Chain A
Amino acid sequence: MPPTYLIVMALYTVLTAYILYLVISNMLRSRDVWEQIMAVFVIVPLFMRLIFIK
């Protein structure tokens, strides 16, 4: 049985992946280029968190 903090971290990782999916799919649908550019500020840090870099 892994420690509780690892289980919580795994659940939040799944949540991070879901938020990333929502942001990227919304960006692909968006017709506002500025909205697409703003998505960079969400995608980059969340992707780094998803792959456990920072």
Chain B
Amino acid sequence: MSVNHKSSAILILAVCLILTIILCLSYIPMWKYDLIVPGPGVTRVAWLSDYVPELKGSLADTRVFILEGQEPGANILVLSGHHADEPGGWMSGMVLVEKAQVKTGKLVVIPQANNSGFTHNYPQEAHAQFISIPRPDGTSRRYRHGSRTGNSAEHWPDPEVFIQYPSGQKLSGDEVRNLNRAYPGRLNGTFTERIAYGIQMVVRNEQIDLQMDMHEAQPEYPFVNAVSAHPAAEELASLASLGMQTHDLDLGVELSPATFRGLSNREMGDAVSGLMAVTMETANTEQGKIRGITDDLLAVQGQDAFYVAAAKLGNLFVPYDEGGWPLKRRVGRHLTAFKELALALQDLSGKPFDIANVPDYYELVANDVGYYLNPINEKVSDPGYQSYPGIWRLFSKTSSQDRS
């Protein structure tokens, strides 16, 4: 081709620059923290860096909502958003923050446990960057829809093999950014281990009795619509499963395997004496590997014709029809299980825990998720951009007084 090679090179460099700017502008809005409208039950909003100051100014920093009752009782921690591509998990945490009111005991909610995971998408999954939840008044609430793992702009490169601390178990390299493989964490460890360490400090400082971790999994995954319990929480999970039967909901119970390390329930249950720790899973179509069109609607509506066909062939571990597994059913399952686990905790520990305004499965199916999210009003301050990855963290807000 007879072209001036210098001119073509400069032209292509200019194209590179334009493409880079366009792509950067599409990623950077995901660094902005989601707007969460705390309900009247929230008595204090803290940050993970209030427990571990070393996390300040990094994408690891995330909000910790505390709902304290008037009387002391059991202390419960709800973790969600370990995996930011599991909206049924983190939306359950959001509903608790925006609607629940604790009368006796204390509820601590970290709805976006791995904030770093919310700042980017998982490669090659074609997931939407944002999802919108419609409210009954015609408005909608918009949330980031992130990745299973933390942002590689904050922590890279991944090793060929991730060696889990402290077990020494070998896992695939990108699991080094998976918060649910990083427990119990350590302050001088990897970026993700530092987040896990921060959550461990929340558990210790808030004297948590029960830790619930809300997740989702693909419908073809054997462990779904189920709870995985640390041995110390086995009886608690069994009682909650029986309680779910009274709502005509099945909840499988499995013991967290001693040979699979780094999980929140297994490691925190081992590390913190007296803590009961469980992990819950619901069925999320958009995580499934045989799904069809992947867009923001799939995350919310959870309907996919390929999964209907797979269910007819008996290849799934959950019932699946044309209605699919919409977000309202998944959040409904998590919150009903939350209430049953809290009841079981009272029975086993003797510590009272009284909470109101937590919708159950049938209320969520009837009203949908948006009904349980607060409207955005002028009193709610937008957290905006609090922290940035890499060298950009020099521009992060460094003082907690700056935070809203």
Contacts and interface: CB of A to CB of B under 8 A. Distances in A.
A32 to B, nearest CB: 8
Interface in A2-53: 3-5, 8-9, 12-13, 24, 27-28, 30-31, 33-34, 36-37, 39-40, 43-44, 47-49, 51-53
Contacts of B12: 27, 36-37, 39-40
Contacts, number: 77
A24 B6 CA distance: 12
Nearest to B9: A28
Most chain A beta-carbon contacts within 10 A, residue among B1, B5, B154 = B5
A8 to B, nearest CB: 8
Interface string B58-70: 0000000000000
Nearest to B192: A5
Interface in B1-20: 1, 3, 5-6, 8-9, 12-13, 15-16, 19-20
A49 B9 contact: no
Nearest to B121: A54
Interface string B125-162: 00000000000000000000000000011111100000
Main secondary structure of the interface of B (DSSP, over half): helix
Interface residues on B, range: 20 to 34
B156 A40 contact: no
Given A24-B13, A27-B12, A28-B6, A54 B153 contact: yes
Given A39-B12, A48-B20, A53-B27, A3 B189 contact: yes
A37 B3 CA distance: 13
A52 B153 contact: yes
Contacts of A37: 12
Contacts of B13: 24, 27, 43
A33 B1 CA distance: 7
B391 A52 contact: yes
A12 B156 contact: yes
Interface of A is mostly: helix
A37 B385 CA distance: 36
A48 B9 CA distance: 19
Interface residues on A, range: 20 to 34
B285 to A, nearest CB: 26
A47 B20 contact: yes
Contacts of A5: 155, 189-191
A27 B12 CA distance: 9
Contacts of A30: 5, 9
Contacts of A12: 156-157
Contacts of A24: 13
A48 B23 contact: yes
B355 to A, nearest CB: 38
Contact of B9 (A4, A27, A53): A27
B177 to A, nearest CB: 11
Nearest to A8: B157
A4 B9 CA distance: 39
A47 B13 CA distance: 11
Nearest to B31: A53
Contacts of A53: 23-24, 27-28, 153
Interface string B168-195: 0000000000000000000011110010
A51 B9 CA distance: 22
A47 B392 CA distance: 15
A54 B5 contact: no
A11 B165 CA distance: 23
21 contacts: A3-B188, A4-B188, A5-B190, A9-B390, A12-B156, A27-B9, A28-B6, A28-B9, A31-B5, A36-B8, A40-B15, A40-B16, A44-B19, A47-B16, A48-B20, A51-B390, A52-B388, A53-B23, A53-B24, A54-B120, A54-B152
> Which A-B residue pairs are the 5 nearest by beta carbons?
A52-B390, A43-B16, A52-B153, A31-B5, A28-B9
Given A51-B390, A52-B388, A52-B392, 16 more contacts: A4-B188, A5-B155, A5-B190, A9-B155, A30-B5, A30-B9, A33-B3, A33-B5, A33-B8, A44-B16, A48-B23, A49-B153, A52-B153, A53-B153, A54-B152, A54-B153
